[in-house]
């Protein structure tokens, strides 16, 4: 029995168990401080569907040895481009949503291709370079959001009459298009966004299948031992390039998924903050810079978003002051630091 | 590939161009941007002197952990926080002038050492992920800092000065006036060149720190650090306490960053209580990387080249962007784009050059091997014939 | 590429020499369109009137960084850089973000003749009052009482103040919260102090907005539909407006009120070219949208944007002062400049009183009448704020 | 053992330096009031503007019925006061010394000082 527990602990990793227990504790204490458990659960599930794909997008690059994609913003920008164009073309519902995704994939392929070429030149320092690529691409797009000749009255600045707003409502277009698909209610306060969850599951499945194909396993080989891969006749650079493009495309889909659930498209500086929570979630899920699995993605999103939504509301109701934000920062980042110091234990098992 | 041939070239000019691609790229860029921005030479010179004098100390504090193989220390944010706490206290007590500045340093040293110790302990547990962990540690400590400064100062830690305390009776205001210590170090020993004050005392402090780093590298501890940086296994085998050595490097770096932040803020003159430290790590690291350093190797010249180039772009590009595009708001975005884009490109160039060098080495090695093989084969064949 | 750059470079050079005809320059520093649209539009309005320096006009407009909280160095360099121009006679910073005080000190040292104006200061009022010639801020002291009063008049029985630690370290914001608390108790309302994520923290704007989107329904559940919401951060405003319009509750006015603050994004208001630069038309469009969404009589704003009018009015005032047509601290002259950009709007205000009880007559606090959609003006500028709310120790335990 | 002694004495030395720095760097506020004041039975009336110098700092003019403040560092200070009539210095230059303990400031009553009375300043411990 003890051994079995030991095995489970080793398998999941102690940090995750502790964080999971902490999350459970938060949920359990919710009713005592006047926070509804059902709405909290609802929020966590919704956030799983919203953020899952963005975190998933990190996987191909880690697998191919390109490290954590701190340049996620590039994918996000592709997604944003797809989204605003679909709005400009006045498409609604499923049609609009999938048009946005289709367009985004095209942009993501182009950006990802260029980005991949750059990253191939900087093996070993991908993460640092990616961070700055992310920053500068966001600023670059800031210029274009202002200049591009969008005309839709829903999107342009009120006083200036030109250029895109910082936040654009998608309510009249494809708000919750996917989440409402087959969605059902449990009780009065939980709505399961079936469509969103299914879509996330589908993408996870596709990624899973992909890494079982010939190209996928070649990519893993490149990631774990490039020299060996090369000697087996695998084109290392091409594999890395494909993984970067793939990551960028999934990120583009991820942000559109995020927006349809969020209700707003956020332009300008907003993408800057997209990479960090995704990376943090993945690390919290037990991944490391060079090793990752789909399990890490799902556990990571669940724990990270769970803590993100639960801590402020519980602490708020507990102490009724703005101090809750300071405590949230301490708890959630402290847990991530903790996970980082411990993840070597998982790797050994 | 054509590019690979370039690195093989022995032509000295081309070699020079390639070896210094990043500074050259910067100089070209700046050469275009300066006339566009319309700034006077005097303004730019003054701006560069102040920026080098106020930022170099912070950037220098990054060097020691690099020697120990811990990469860029994002944990200098912790040192910056310690320095700020020292400054809060001297402002509260109304200690002014040079004594105030020195007192701030004395107060914050133990805090910085403690935080550095804490950071070092954690980084020791996160070997191989030092940079990401350091970054997260910064975020984490930011929460702790808020808790201490905004909620316990005035309540638990006595603060009496109404000018820094919020009217509600606890918590420090978002901005603190450092009037009392404003530019005291800069003005301690300064003389004018063409009407521009050169803060000699500042440069002396920076010079002393450089000497310290040079000296430190030669000490037993410095040598140990280098060994640890190259290979922890080797270091351990030769009897070096790896954990302790790494810990010390982080503590030193944190304390230096704390002084660096104090020097930085005495020049700025006001303190943004809750945000001044946030980007310290990112900016210092960006400057160092532009200066030609890498995660594994950073030298003193890297620091100065980096600070000058990085800040030149920061100063010039917003105006240049504005003039180029004609709209003020686009100028700001242009600056961010150019500044970070150029960092990304220069990092890419450095990494690429390193990769090429490696490839060249490999190719040379292969060539030598082949030659050796040929000779060997030749001799054996010859042997048979004879 | 190089050729193009060269040509551009010479064009700029030529144009700057050929048309240099304004006898003095005014430097305006605002946020970018992404940070604070209205402030920037105010500068564009001034450029429209008085011309751009690069084309021989009077106005030199710059923007401070989007990440201004952490890029103080850049802010200082931008502002001080303006003083490099020998014709510069006034510098206006709206909003006066951290770094402005130091930048003003440096400008003073170099060029004591330059007029220094600040709008909506983020730094400590005393610090700014010490260096700037004139600072203008929304009257967060009077509004602390008036917003509660307006909420009560509209029928709210609970008031929720949403903020986070960083903002509560701003003196005037923190004081406004305390005043609101006391005022709510005085008027028999429940006051709730709610914490929320900081948009500049690790989770960013999206995370902060998500929090509001998720929690408003729960709050309305707990505290009832008669809850009025107030948030100190612009980023929180949009999701808050969206939820309030949908589900109920009140929203009196934003921290920096403007018809374009939050409403267009939150409610998907459509604008066309006819609305460009026309505040009354924009107000009508927003009103239509609010009533459409069922927010009539529950949601309000100021009819003219504070950010826009402050940039424009300070610019206008500076011009008049330089030309010798007005005194810097003449309240009537300042209000006259404001009236130019807000025809027909009611304004009121007072001076900031510092810690030592000294009136700072170069730190002006102003407010405009609250306009509630589907209800009209609340006439808040006619109300007299009881003296007790001006006590700086209000709400202190 | 010897190492520890050296370490402890170093720490003590640093603390001493800190205390020393605190003393020489501590700033004090000296308020100058040019207002009518009654001490005991005597009433001193403020009439003219006074120009005030403290140590080497720039002078300030204290107008009738107003208050100005100087911020100075360290314990001992020299105050110089002279009246200003019609924009020109006139009358006697009065030079006074003042010494502070920590956490002290002073309010100087200029009319009293000009009158030559003893109690020309009061120590102000509230900062």
* pLDDT > 90 in chain A, percent: 21
Q: State the pLDDT confidence band at B203, using cuts at 50, 70 and 90.
A: very high
* Minimum distance, in Å, between the CA of residue A189 and any CA atom of chain C: 10
State the pLDDT at residue C397.
55
pLDDT at C211: 87
Split at pLDDT 50, 70, 90, the class of B8 is: low
Q: Is A171:A155 a contact under the CB 8 Å cutoff?
A: no
Within 10 A of A212 (CB to CB), how many other CB atoms are there? 9
Q: Residue C127 and residue B40: Cβ atoms within 8 Å?
A: no
For the cut 80, the answer to whether the pLDDT of residue B375 exceeds it is no
CA distance D10 to chain B (A): 13
Rounded CA gap, B189 and B207, in Å?
A: 14
DSSP code of B152?
A: I
State yes or no: pLDDT of B107 exceeds 90: yes
φ/ψ of A152, rounded to 5, equals -50, 130
Residue A80's pLDDT is what? 92
Q: Which two tokens stand for residue C15?
A: 């144009």
Cβ atoms of B168 and C178 closer than 8 Å: yes
B383: confidence class by pLDDT, cuts 50, 70, 90 = very low
pLDDT of residue B56: 93
pLDDT in the model for residue C263: 87
Is pLDDT at C26 greater than 90 in this prediction?
A: yes
Yes or no: say if B67 and D100 are a contact pair by the CB < 8 Å rule: no
Segment C347-361 mean pLDDT: 78
Q: Write down the pTM of the prediction.
A: 0.84
Residue C4 pLDDT level (bands cut at 50, 70, 90): low
Q: What is the mean pLDDT of residues A46-61?
A: 90
Residue C20, pLDDT score: 47
DSSP state of B149: I
Give B110 to chain D, closest Cα distance, Å: 11
Enclosing H/E stretch for B118: helix B97-125
Judge contact between B40 and C13, C-beta under 8 A: no
Q: How many CB atoms lie within 10 A of CB B41?
A: 9
B110 confidence band (pLDDT: 50, 70, 90): very high
Average pLDDT over residues C140-149: 90
Quote the DSSP letter at residue B151: I
Confirm if B306 and B292 have CB atoms less than 8 A apart.
yes
Nearest-angstrom CA–CA distance, A314 and C22: 60
pLDDT at position B9, please?
A: 55
Q: DSSP per residue over B264-332, as a string?
A: HHHHH-EEETTTTTTTHHHHHHHHHHHTT--SS---HHHHHHHHHHHHHHHHHHHHHHHHHHS-HHHHH
* Residue-wise burial string across A324-348, b where 16 or more C-beta atoms lie within 10 A, e elsewhere: bbbbbbbbbbbbbbbbbbbbeebee
Question: Model confidence over C145-157: pLDDT tens digits?
Answer: 999 999 999 989 9
For A211, the 3-state DSSP assignment is: coil
Q: Write the pLDDT tens digit of every residue in C88-123.
A: 999 999 989 888 999 999 899 888 999 999 998 888
Chain C residues within an 8 Å CB radius of B333:
32, 66
Residue A100's contacts (CB-CB under 8 Å, 6 or more residues apart) are A79, A82, A83, A85, A86, A174, A256
Interface test with C, best of A38, A76, A144, A158 (most C CBs within 10 A): A158
A144 touches chain B (CB under 8 A): no
pLDDT at D81 over 90: no
Residue A65 has pLDDT above 90, yes or no: no
The reported pLDDT for the residue numbered D9 is: 93
At residue C1's C-alpha, the angle toward residues C53 and B23, to 5°, is 90
Q: Note which residues in 106-165 of chain B have CB less than 8 A from chain A.
A: 122, 125-129, 131-133, 136-137, 139-140, 142-144, 146-147, 150-151
Query: Average of pLDDT values for A134-156?
Result: 86
A347 touching B, CB under 8 A? no
Going through chain C in order, the beta strands assigned E by DSSP cover 25-30, 59-63, 88-94, 115-119, 134-138, 158-163, 190-195, 227-231, 250-251, 300-302, 347-353, 359-368, 370-372, 376-377
Residue B17 has pLDDT above 80, yes or no: no
pLDDT for residue A345: 40
**Confidence at residue B310, expressed as pLDDT on a 0 to 100 scale:** 85
pLDDT at A343: 55
C216-247 burial code (b ≥16 CB/10 A, e <16):
bbbbbeebeebbbbbbbbbbbbbbbbbbbbbe
* Contacts with B116 (C-beta within 8 Å, 6 or more apart), sequence order: B75, B78, B79, B250, B251, B252, B253, B254, B255
Q: How confident is the model at residue B126 (pLDDT cuts 50, 70, 90)?
A: confident
Q: What's the CA angle centered on B199, arms B195 and B201, to 5 degrees?
A: 150
pLDDT at residue C16 tops 60: no
- B59, B60, B66, B70 alpha-carbon torsion, rounded to 10°: -60
Query: SS3 for A17-60, per residue?
Result: HHHHHHHHHHHHHHHHHCCCHHHHHHHHHHHHHHHHHHHHCCHH
Q: CB–CB of B283/B313 below 8 Å?
A: no
**Is the pLDDT reported for residue B4 higher than 60?**
no
Residues C224-243: tens digit of each pLDDT: 889 999 999 888 898 899 88
pLDDT at C14 over 70: no
Instruction: Give first-to-last CA distance, chain B, whole Å.
Output: 43
CB A259 within 8 A of CB A247: no
Among A93-102, A179-188, A196-205, B173-182, name the one with the lowest average pLDDT: A179-188
Model confidence at B207, in pLDDT bands (50, 70, 90)? Answer: very high
Chain C positions touching B36 (Cβ under 8 A) are: 8-9, 12
By Cβ distance, the residue of B97, B103, B161 closest to D18 is: B103
Answer with the residue of higher pLDDT: C167 or D66.
Answer: C167
C-alpha dihedral over B300, B301, B306, B311, to 10 degrees? 100
Q: Which residue of B has its CA nearest to D21?
A: B99
Of the candidates B273, B254, B256, which has an alpha carbon nearest to the alpha carbon of residue B87? Answer: B273
Residue ranges in chain A assigned as alpha helix (H): 2-12, 14-29, 37-56, 59-63, 73-88, 93-121, 126-147, 194-210, 214-224, 226-231, 236-262, 275-284, 294-319, 323-348
Mean pLDDT, all residues of chain A = 84
Average pLDDT, chain B: 83
What are the structural domains, with CATH classification, of chain B?
6-385 (1.10.3470)
Which of the residue ranges A25-34, B62-71, C26-35 would you say has the lowest mean pLDDT? Answer: A25-34
Q: Does A319 touch chain B (CB under 8 A)?
A: no
Among the ranges given (A60-74, A236-250, C258-272, D113-127), the one the predictor scored with the smallest mean pLDDT: D113-127
Mutate to test the interface with B, among D12, D18, D21, D125 (most CBs of B within 10 A): D21
C211 neighbors C199 (Cβ within 8 angstroms): no
Closest residue of chain C to B335, computed from CA coordinates = C65
Query: pLDDT for C277-334, tens place per residue?
Result: 788 888 888 998 899 888 888 999 998 889 899 999 999 999 999 998 888 888 888 8
Tell whether the model's pLDDT for residue B247 goes beyond 90.
Answer: yes
CA distance B177 to B96: 12
Interface test with A, best of C30, C218, C312 (most A CBs within 10 A): C218
Q: In Å, how far are A346, B63, C34 from A11, measured between CA atoms?
A: 7, 39, 46
Chain C residue with Cα closest to A325: C197
Could A140 and B139 be called an inter-chain contact, meaning their C-beta atoms sit closer than 8 Å?
no
pLDDT at B31 over 70: yes
Q: pLDDT category, D105, cuts 50, 70, 90?
A: confident
Are 3 or more Cβ–Cβ pairs between C and A shorter than 8 Å?
yes
Q: What's the whole-number mean pLDDT along residues A225-246?
A: 88
pLDDT at A121 (0 to 100): 81
pLDDT at position C18 over 80: no
Q: Highest mean pLDDT range out of A132-136, B37-41, C111-115?
A: C111-115
Separation of alpha carbons C110 and C88, rounded Å? 12
- Name residue C366's beta-bridge partners: C138, C349
CA angle B308, B273, B177 (to 5 degrees): 85
Q: Residue D120: its pLDDT value, please?
A: 79
pLDDT tens-digit readout, A285-304: 887 777 888 888 998 898 88
User: In order of start, what are the domains of chain D with their CATH numbers?
Assistant: 28-124 (2.60.40)
Statement: residue A268 has pLDDT above 90: no
Q: Which two tokens stand for residue B279?
A: 């980007």
How high is the mean pLDDT of chain D? 81
Q: In this model, does residue C22 exceed pLDDT 80?
A: no
What distance, in Å, lies between the first and last C-alpha atoms of chain C? 66
Select from B122, B144, B341 the Cβ nearest to the Cβ of A341.
B122
The pLDDT assigned to C15 comes to 47
Would you say A251 and A108 are in contact if contact means Cβ atoms under 8 Å apart? Answer: yes
Q: What is the pLDDT of residue C395?
A: 66
pLDDT at B274 over 60: yes
The residue written with tokens 């030529």 in the block is: C14
Domains of chain A, residue spans:
38-178+187-271
| Span of A231-235, B159-163, B192-196, D4-8 with lowest mean pLDDT | B192-196
Least confident of A265-274, C328-337, C354-363, D107-116: C354-363
Q: Which chain D residue shows the shortest CA-CA distance from B100?
A: D25
CA distances from A17 to A284, B306, B381, C35, C199 (A): 11, 44, 68, 41, 29
Q: Quick check: B119 pLDDT over 90?
A: yes
For the segment B326-339, the average pLDDT, to the nearest whole number, is 78
User: D126 pLDDT exceeds 70?
Assistant: no
**pLDDT greater than 80 at residue B1:** no
Cβ-based burial of A220 (10 A; exposed 0-12, middle 13-18, buried ≥19): middle
Q: For residues D61 and D49, give the distance between their C-alpha atoms in angstroms, rounded to a whole number.
A: 7
């Amino acid at each position: 029995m003890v051994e079995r527990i030991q095995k489970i602990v080793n398998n999941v990793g102690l940090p995750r168990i502790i964080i999971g227990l902490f999350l459970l504790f938060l949920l359990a204490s919710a009713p005592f401080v006047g926070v509804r458990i059902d709405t909290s659960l609802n929020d966590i599930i919704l956030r799983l569907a919203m953020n899952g794909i963005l975190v998933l997008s990190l996987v191909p690059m880690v697998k191919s040895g390109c490290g954590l994609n701190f340049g996620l913003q590039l994918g996000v920008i592709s997604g944003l481009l797809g989204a605003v164009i679909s709005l400009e073309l006045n498409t609604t519902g499923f049609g609009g949503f999938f048009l946005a995704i289709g367009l985004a994939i095209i942009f993501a392929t182009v950006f990802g291709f260029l980005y991949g070429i750059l990253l191939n030149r900087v093996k070993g320092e991908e993460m640092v370079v990616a961070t700055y690529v992310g920053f500068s691409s966001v600023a670059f797009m800031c210029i274009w959001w202002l200049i591009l000749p969008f005309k839709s009255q829903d999107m342009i600045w009120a006083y200036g009459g030109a250029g895109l707003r910082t936040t654009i409502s998608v309510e009249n277009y494809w708000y919750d298009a996917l989440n409402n698909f087959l969605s059902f209610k449990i009780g009065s306060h939980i709505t399961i966004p079936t469509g969103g969850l299914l879509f996330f599951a589908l993408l996870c499945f596709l990624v899973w299948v992909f890494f079982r194909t010939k190209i996928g396993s070649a990519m893993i080989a490149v990631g774990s031992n490039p020299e060996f891969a090369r000697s087996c006749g695998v084109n290392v650079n091409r594999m890395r390039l494909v993984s970067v493009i793939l990551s960028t495309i999934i990120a583009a889909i991820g942000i559109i998924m995020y927006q349809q659930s969020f209700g707003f498209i956020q332009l300008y500086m907003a993408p800057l903050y997209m990479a960090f929570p995704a990376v943090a979630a993945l690390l919290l899920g037990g991944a490391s810079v060079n090793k990752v699995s789909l399990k890490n993605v799902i556990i990571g999103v669940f724990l990270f978003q769970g803590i993100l939504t639960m801590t402020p509301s519980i602490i708020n109701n507990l102490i009724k002051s703005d101090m809750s934000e300071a405590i949230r920062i301490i708890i959630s980042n402290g847990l991530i630091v903790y996970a980082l110091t411990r993840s070597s234990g998982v790797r050994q098992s | 590939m054509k590019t690979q041939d370039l690195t093989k070239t022995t032509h000295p000019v081309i070699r020079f161009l390639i070896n210094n691609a990043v500074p050259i790229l910067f100089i070209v860029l700046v050469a275009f941007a300066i006339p566009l921005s319309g700034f006077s030479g005097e303004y730019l010179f003054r701006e560069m002197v102040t920026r080098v004098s106020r930022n170099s100390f912070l950037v220098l504090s990054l060097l020691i952990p690099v020697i120990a193989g811990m990469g860029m220390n994002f944990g200098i944010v912790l040192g910056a926080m310690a320095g700020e706490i020292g400054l809060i206290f001297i402002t509260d007590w109304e200690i002014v002038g040079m004594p105030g500045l020195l007192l701030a340093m004395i107060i914050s040293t133990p805090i910085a050492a403690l935080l550095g110790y804490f950071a070092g302990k954690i980084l020791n547990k996160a070997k191989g992920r030092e940079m990401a962990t350091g970054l997260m540690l910064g975020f984490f400590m930011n929460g702790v800092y808020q808790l201490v400064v905004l909620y316990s100062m005035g309540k638990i830690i006595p603060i009496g000065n109404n000018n820094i305390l919020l009217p509600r009776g606890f918590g420090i205001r978002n901005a603190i006036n450092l009037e009392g210590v404003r530019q005291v170090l800069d003005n301690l020993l300064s003389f004018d060149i063409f009407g521009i004050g050169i803060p000699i005392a500042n440069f002396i402090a920076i010079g002393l720190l450089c000497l310290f780093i040079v000296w430190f590298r030669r000490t037993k501890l410095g040598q140990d650090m280098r060994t640890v940086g190259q290979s922890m296994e080797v270091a351990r085998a030769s009897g070096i306490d790896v954990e302790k050595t790494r810990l010390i490097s982080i503590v030193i770096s944190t304390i230096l960053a704390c002084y660096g932040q104090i020097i930085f803020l005495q020049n700025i003159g006001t303190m943004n209580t809750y945000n001044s430290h946030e980007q310290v790590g990112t900016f210092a690291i960006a400057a160092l990387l532009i200066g030609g350093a890498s995660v594994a190797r950073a030298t003193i010249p890297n620091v100065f080249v980096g600070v000058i180039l990085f800040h030149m772009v920061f100063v010039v590009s917003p105006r240049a962007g504005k003039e180029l595009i004609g709209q003020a708001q686009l100028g700001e975005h242009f600056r961010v784009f150019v500044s970070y884009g150029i960092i990304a490109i220069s990092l890419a160039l450095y990494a690429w050059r390193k990769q090429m060098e490696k490839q060249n080495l490999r190719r040379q090695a292969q060539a030598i091997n082949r030659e050796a093989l040929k000779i060997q084969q030749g001799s054996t064949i010859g042997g048979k014939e004879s | 590429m190089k050729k193009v750059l060269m040509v551009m470079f010479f064009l700029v050079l030529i144009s700057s020499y050929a048309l240099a005809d304004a006898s003095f320059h005014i430097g305006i520093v605002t946020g970018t369109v992404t940070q604070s649209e209205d402030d920037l539009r105010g500068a564009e309005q001034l450029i429209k009137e008085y011309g751009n320096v690069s084309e021989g006009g009077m106005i030199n407009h710059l923007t401070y960084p989007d990440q201004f909280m952490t890029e103080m160095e850049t802010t200082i360099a931008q502002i001080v850089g303006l003083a490099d121009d020998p014709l510069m006679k006034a510098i206006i910073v709206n909003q006066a973000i951290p770094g402005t005080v130091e930048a003003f000190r440096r400008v003073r040292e170099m060029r004591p003749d330059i007029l220094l104006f600040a709008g909506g200061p983020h730094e400590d009022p005393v610090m700014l009052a010490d260096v700037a010639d004139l600072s203008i801020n929304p009257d967060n002291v009077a509004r602390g009482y008036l917003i509660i009063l307006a909420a009560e008049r509209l029928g709210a029985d609970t008031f929720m103040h949403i903020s986070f630690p960083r903002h509560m370290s701003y003196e005037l914001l923190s004081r406004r919260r305390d005043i609101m608390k006391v005022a709510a108790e005085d008027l028999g309302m429940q006051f709730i102090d709610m914490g929320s994520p900081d948009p500049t923290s690790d989770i960013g704007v999206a995370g902060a907005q998500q929090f509001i989107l998720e929690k408003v329904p729960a709050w309305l559940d707990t505290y009832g539909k008669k809850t009025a919401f107030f948030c100190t951060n612009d980023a929180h405003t949009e999701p808050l407006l969206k939820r309030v319009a949908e589900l109920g509750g009140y929203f009196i006015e934003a921290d920096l009120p403007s018809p374009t603050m939050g409403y267009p994004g939150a409610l998907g208001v459509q604008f066309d070219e006819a609305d460009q630069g026309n505040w009354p038309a924009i107000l009508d469009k927003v009103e239509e949208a609010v009533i459409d969404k069922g927010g009539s009589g529950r949601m309000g704003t100021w009819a003219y944007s504070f950010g826009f009018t402050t940039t424009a009015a300070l610019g206008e005032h500076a011009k008049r002062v330089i030309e010798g047509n007005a005194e810097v601290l003449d309240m009537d002259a300042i209000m006259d400049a404001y009236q130019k950009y807000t025809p027909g709007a009611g304004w009121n205000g007072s001076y900031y009183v510092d810690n030592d009880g000294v009136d700072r007559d170069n730190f002006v606090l102003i407010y405009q009448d609250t306009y509630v959609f589907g209800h009209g003006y609340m006439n808040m500028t006619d109300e007299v704020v009881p003296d007790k709310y001006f006590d700086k120790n209000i709400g202190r335990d | 053992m010897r190492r520890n002694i050296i370490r402890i004495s170093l720490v003590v030395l640093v603390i001493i330096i800190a205390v020393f720095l605190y003393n020489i760097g501590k700033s004090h506020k000296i308020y100058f009031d040019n207002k009518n004041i009654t001490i005991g039975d005597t009433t001193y009336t403020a009439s003219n503007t006074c120009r005030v110098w403290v140590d080497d700092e720039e002078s300030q003019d204290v107008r009738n019925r107003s208050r100005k403040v100087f911020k100075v560092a360290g314990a001992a200070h020299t105050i110089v006061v002279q009246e200003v009539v019609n924009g020109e210095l006139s009358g006697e230059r009065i030079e006074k010394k003042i010494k502070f303990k920590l956490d002290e400031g002073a309010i100087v009553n200029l009319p009293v000082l000009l009158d030559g009375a003893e109690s020309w300043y009061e120590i102000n411990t509230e900062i």
